[in-house]
Structure 1
């Protein structure tokens, strides 16, 4: 069954129950079957874990994949676009408290519908694309720049909240998970 994760991590949520098709699209090499515990452990060690579906979503977890502060070709956006083009809808989430990196991006049919990413270490908004989503407005997740009198910036709880509102909150969502193996591999 699902194992909670989310802090100091990055993941995609893909609107599909076809774990193998996701692993194929990512072109994972050296694949091995993995349960949730070993898959999440591997994800924090640099492997990609394509988890069994949870409530209609397949999660792809890797704590050390390139983030939005990396050059775009190596960052998550091309992969996110490919996943959403193939499966209709996909999201990218990331949180890392050491550098204060927080991100949530939703893509539909290969196009970013909404994206927000912040790197507190540099006090920089890396991405703010599209209109605030209904979920962000209802959760009061609007942020100010660092030049504001009382700056408001995102935190890891905001990322996990957005994951739950748009797909699956991996820190608590174990209901609806399937008791079967996922796949770990390298890219």
Structure 2
């Protein structure tokens, strides 16, 4: 920096920079301030980052993000990287990481994949995902050398930081057809420390069709061995739908529901499939069928949702049929974080009760039958007038009902949320395709914890 004579002459310049940054908070002054700051380029990066990290600042975060990542651009990359390494606390890290992943500079990200800081490596992988992903029908970037990006990401599959390794695995599944061949090479030639992850990526990218016969056999063998003495675990995805039948006749349930291509699956795999299938839009093509748990068999997946407008009619039919064969059968839906609840209870071939409660909709169109004794008991426990009684408050009941599915499931049978080491398990679970998949095509497999 060249000297401007006595230091007091330089103070106004510093002031104007701070003033310009503060002016970003004022819609009338914003445009001019942006221009002044963008012209100063790399000299204002530090001051902009300080403002970004000041949680009391009135300047919108996205104003600073855009200036750094888009206007000043890659010239600011090194300083933003340093700030990411130095950031303390979750919120500060999040703010700097957002700038870092918005540069869109693939060559900078590729270099940063080998940075000593795990935080930088993980954010660089995410930055690559943002620019290069071809998932969900996106077009590849014409100016990106995908082969080079893939090769740069591969070593991160064995990253000592599990979050970085997981991110690298996800990003590789989004980079298109070039990935499969590289993963096949690793399965055959190594390196050995990447073989297991390469199998996961392959399964995610190409589904089972992408696996060699030997690899497919490896996966099934692993599952059978793990499934033999695996303790039950809670099957709690953020949004869970399931059918519950009081029987150990897994085969009979599978046949009656018209499920096919059942493959052995551990609880961990079932949970992983369930999470995947309910997060990325409802996947009706596949379900997880538990082994016998405390005398019940549970079938999990969005296909089982008794109060999903697309599924309600069919679920009512199959649960009634199951109850004809096994005496009783139920179906439930539970969405955490206010996603609502639904239940369907059938006995001897007839529906006893169906009810749905959502925040955005009264769910009334799904109501069948009179309130169950367990529903009334839940009201009494909450200190509200029981549903169905004179003077019952409809709103109080719907608020309570929105959380009720797991409780009712536990009272009327076995709830998937309550499974654990204490549960008596017989047999091995399975992942199977539903009749929906016959009509609408197979689900994309996705990679799962085995």
TM range (shorter): 0.7 to 0.9
Task: Find the counterpart in structure 1 of residue 433 from structure 2.
Answer: 186
Which residue number in structure 1 is paired with residue 235 of structure 2? Answer: 5
Q: Are the equivalent residues in 1 in contact too, given 2:245–2:328 (CA < 8 A)?
A: yes
Alignment of 1:1-187 (within 5 A): 1-6=231-236, 7-44=238-275, 45=277, 46=283, 47-63=286-302, 65=304, 67-71=306-310, 75-97=314-336, 100-140=339-379, 142=387, 144-146=393-395, 152-154=398-400, 157-174=403-420, 175-178=422-425, 180-187=427-434
Distance of aligned partners of 1:144 and 1:54 in 2 relative to their CA distance in 1, 3 Å threshold: farther
**Cα distance, 1:20–1:76 mapped onto 2, change above 3 Å:** same
Contact 1:9 1:64 in 2 (8 A): no
Residue ranges of structure 2 left out of the alignment (5+ in a row): 1-230, 278-282, 380-385, 435-450
Go from structure 1 to structure 2 and tell me whether the alpha carbon gap of 1:43 and 1:151 turns closer, same or farther (over 3 Å shift): closer
Query: 2:46 is matched with which residue?
Result: none
Answer yes or no: is the 8 Å Cα contact 2:304–2:332 preserved in 1.
no
CA distance in structure 2 between the partners assigned to 1:184 and 1:67 by the alignment: 20
Structure 1 residue 73, shift from structure 2 partner = 7.0
Shift of the 155–121 alpha-carbon distance from structure 1 to 2, 3 Å rule, reads: same
Q: What SS does structure 2 have at the residue aligned with 1:121? A: coil
Contact 1:52 1:177 in 2 (8 A): no
Q: Please list the CA deviations of residues 103-124 of structure 1 after superposition, one character each: whole Å capped at 9, or x if unmatched.
A: 1111011211122112322233
Q: SS state of the match for residue 394, structure 2?
A: coil
**Larger-gyration structure (1/2):** 2
- Structure 1 residue 3: Cα displacement: 1.7
Cα distance in 1 for residues equivalent to 2:318 and 2:376: 27
- Between 1 and 2, higher relative CO (CA 8 Å, sep ≥ 6) is seen in 1
**Post-superposition offset of 1:42:** 1.8
RMSD: 2.5
* Inter-CA distance 80–153: structure 2 relative to 1 (3 Å threshold): same
Query: In structure 2, how many angstroms separate the alpha carbons of the residues matched to 1:5 and 1:156?
Result: 19
Give the 3 Å change call, closer, same or farther, for CA 73–59 of structure 1 in structure 2. Answer: closer
**Alpha carbons 1:119, 1:125 under 8 Å: kept:** no
Q: Which has the higher strand share?
A: 1
Q: What is the count of residue pairs matched by the alignment? A: 184
Q: Is the 8 A contact 2:292 2:426 kept in 1?
A: no
The alpha-carbon distance between structure 1 residues 130 and 67, as it changes in their structure 2 partners (threshold 3 A), is closer
Of the structure 1 ranges 45-54 and 92-101, higher mean CA displacement relative to structure 2 is found in 92-101
Change (3 A) 1:145 1:157: closer
Which blocks of at least 5 consecutive residues in structure 1 are unaligned? none
Aligned-residue offset at 1:62: 0.5
